[in-house]
Amino acid sequence: MSQKLDGRLSCAAALVRGGRLADVGTDHAYLPVSLLLDGRIEYAVASDINSGPLARARETVQRNGLADKVDLVLTDGLHGIDAYCPDDIAILGMGGELIASILDAAEWVKHEKYRFILQPMTKRAELREYLITHGFFIENELVAEAEGRIYQTVCASYVGKNTSYSLPELLLGRHNIERGDGLTARYAAQLEATYTAIVRNKSRAGADARAELAALDALRQLNLTER
């Protein structure tokens, strides 16, 4: 029996090292179940703040005969997750600012032994900025498409010192820019269109659009859409 993952979750799975995984905001528990069935990890704790997603996760776990290898926990963010001794911690499918707040609320995450696999649905630049200004190092990023939407998955660990990113790197990811793949170019084009619309609307309303204009200028200078 296997649990097939879509492109979005496959990206996250590719960044997992092995050992013990914490899947925060697990929903259906597809990620830990797939990794367990493939022998990629030995144990998982799957958590959520709501009972409904945990019930769905329990169905997936039991259907695949993995009740002895997955603990299901009702908790807010990372509260209490350190007791399960995870090696890798996945936080997927949330806004970037929410992910940052979850990390910020758990002092125990500031240790080099943990790897964080983060997949922000929104506010991606804000999440990167939080990471690089709070002692985390972004080791890698992967891009995938699922159901017509482009997802970016950030892999980071705590090193205790800050790094510096340019505005384009905050918007798109340093590793993604270096690779210059087609999905990153498409995402850059989507961002350009979004910022262009915001600038237009703000200009009509007489509002300050300097931040959006700076982002537009940074994206256009990359010329990713022309690669």
Q: Say what the pLDDT of residue 2 is.
A: 59
pLDDT in tens, 199-215: 999 999 999 999 999 99
Mean pLDDT (the chain) is: 95
Q: Say what the pLDDT of residue 226 is.
A: 45
115-120, strands of its sheet edge to edge: 70-74, 43-48, 20-24, 88-94, 115-120, 149-158, 136-146
- C-alpha 204, offset from chain centre: 35
27: amino acid identity, one letter: D
The two tokens of residue 89 are 């911690």
Q: At the top level of CATH, which class does the domain 7-163 belong to?
A: alpha beta
- State the average pLDDT over residues 156-162: 98
How far apart CA 188 and CA 192 sit, in angstroms, is 6
Please, are residues 8 and 119 in contact by the beta-carbon 8 Å criterion? yes
pLDDT in tens, 22-68: 999 998 999 999 999 999 999 999 999 999 999 999 999 999 999 99
The two tokens of residue 185 are 């170019």
Q: What is the DSSP letter of 212?
A: H
